[in-house]
């Protein structure tokens, strides 16, 4: 009985290790393909975190399915995925909206790493754009953590990105 438990625990450990290895390989493949300009760097960081999170989640679920006591519960959860997704969607509505806004910011790029911006009463240099919030460093060194939904829905003053000059009057 103990041998079976040990064998399954080792199989689960191998699945998690393989998942982490796959996540690292995916991360390196993405790094090689990007030129890492400010636009690319912003997209890369959001994409990298998303890909790694999906790979690790799939690996952990696979590892849990290797344990018989958990397999029955996991099978029931997988069978009722729609109900679970609905419950999680309602419970994590703010988190999911911040995640979606983070992806939107990464691809539309109203602000990029290193830009000098003012948004939601916070002004400074964009230090980091994460999946759920953006870090803005103020001139005095203070850091503002602004939720991505606020950035996606509020007016942003970006002193770094230069727009096209206005058209001459006719």
Q: Flag whether pLDDT at 167 surpasses 60.
A: no
Of residues 71 and 92, more confidence is placed in 92
**Residue that the structure tokens 């790493």 belong to:** 113
Q: What is the pLDDT, as a whole number, of residue 75?
A: 65
What is this structure's pTM?
0.51
83-160 is classed CATH 2.60.40.1120: no
Task: Report the distance separating Cα 17 and Cα 24, nearest Å.
Answer: 11
3-state secondary structure of 49: helix
Q: Flag whether pLDDT at 117 surpasses 60.
A: yes
Task: Report the distance separating Cα 126 and Cα 104, nearest Å.
Answer: 16
Contact 66, 15 (CB under 8 A): yes
Averaged pLDDT for residues 49-62: 72
**Residue that the structure tokens 């995640």 belong to:** 99
Number of neighbouring beta carbons within 10 Å of residue 12: 19
Q: DSSP secondary-structure letter at 113?
A: T
Closest to 147 (Cα-Cα) out of 107, 93, 97, 110: 97
**For the chain, what is the mean pLDDT?**
77
Q: What is the pLDDT, as a whole number, of residue 2?
A: 58
Q: Output 47-54 pairs: Cβ under 8 A, ≥24 positions apart.
A: 47/106, 49/130, 49/131, 50/103, 50/131, 51/23, 51/26, 51/27, 52/23, 52/26, 52/27
**Residue that the structure tokens 């460093």 belong to:** 137
């Amino acid at each position: 009985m103990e041998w079976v438990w040990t064998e399954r625990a080792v199989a689960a450990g191998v699945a998690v290790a393989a998942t982490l290895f796959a996540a690292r390989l995916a991360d390196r493949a993405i790094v090689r393909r990007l030129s890492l300009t400010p636009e690319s760097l912003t997209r890369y960081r959001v994409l990298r975190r998303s890909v790694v999170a999906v790979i690790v989640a799939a690996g952990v679920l696979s590892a849990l399915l290797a344990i018989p006591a958990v397999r029955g519960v996991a099978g029931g959860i997988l069978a009722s995925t729609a109900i679970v997704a609905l419950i999680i969607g309602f419970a994590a509505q703010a988190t999911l909206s911040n995640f979606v806004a983070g992806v939107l910011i990464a691809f539309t790029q109203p602000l990029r790493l290193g830009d000098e911006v003012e948004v939601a009463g916070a002004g400074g240099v964009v230090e980091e754009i994460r999946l759920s919030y953006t870090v803005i460093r103020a001139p005095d060194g203070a850091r503002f953590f602004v939720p991505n939904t606020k950035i996606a829905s509020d007016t942003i003053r970006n002193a770094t990105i230069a727009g096209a000059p206005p058209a001459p009057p006719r």
